[in-house]
Structure 1
């Protein structure tokens, strides 16, 4: 069982993966993998979820858990017996509980021995980086913006008969 995040980028069982990606990319990766319906899939989020409403949850093997504290998150990992564990990062779980970062990071690594673990965020922060220190793979998918204006170099400007704006002629007075 694998999850293809992007063409040629596969996540394997037995690994802890820290993924930074746009929400639409991660939703498409999960919804585009029909094999996930055959496996036990645990989705863990904190106080709110950005992507859960976009995920196709018709499978009977799709479980959702909410953690409102770092301790509840830690407990969810220890009790999990799923093939895929997807954790949507919520930094507010660690407000006032910074001492839980190391144990939670260790629990993510530990549960990844038997499962495919994905720690996901659309934008990295200090808490995410601390949790991801023990990750086997750190993946960042950056959206490519369309180029709306052609790139103009000084050479193309000269060929068009224009003077590059960055170059000035000094006049003697």
Structure 2
């Protein structure tokens, strides 16, 4: 059993891999692999999932668990007995629970000894980075045509102040 993200980038059982990639690429990898239907697949997402509605799974082997706190995430990971554990990162699980980042990262790594564990996020954030430190591999896939250019700290500061427009998410103003 394996999942091919792109030509030459394959995920194998017995590993914990952190993946940063566009949603369309991850959905294509999950939906385009009919062999995944044969294995016990656990999809873990928190308060909000960007991917769940796009996954075309009809197999009885596909289970969804939705922890709403970091403690519940730890419980889900400790109880997992699946071949594939896909965790869609939700940073709100760790709001006020930053002390659980290290135990959650350790639980992901421990689960990865017996299964293929994938921690997914469309972009890096602080809690994802803390969890990914325990991963066997960190893979960042860019959309076709984009080049990976390092972000300078000066750019991050100006983005926070509204100097640069972020394509990820925008806040609506209240009238």
| TM-score normalised by L of structure 1 | 0.83
Output the CA distance in 2 between the equivalents of 1:144 and 1:77: 33
Could you say which residue in structure 1 is the equivalent of 2:11?
11
Q: Which runs of 5+ in 1 are unaligned?
A: 147-173
Stretches of structure 2 lacking an aligned partner (at least 5 in a row): 147-175
Matches within 5 A, 1:21-170: 21-145=21-145
TM-aligned CA deviation for residue 144 of structure 1: 2.5
What SS class does the counterpart of residue 86 from structure 2 fall into? strand
Q: 1:20 and 1:95 mapped to 2: Cα distance? A: 21
Q: Deviations 1:107-138 (Å, cap 9, x if unpaired)?
A: 00000000000000001101000000010010
Instruction: Tell me what 2:157 maps to.
Output: none
Distance 1:28 1:142 in 2: 14
Q: CA deviation at 1:57?
A: 1.5
What secondary structure, in the 3-state scheme, does the structure 2 residue paired with 1:87 have?
strand
Larger radius of gyration: 1
**Partners in 2 of 1:111 and 1:81 — Cα distance?**
8
TM, length-normalised to structure 2: 0.82
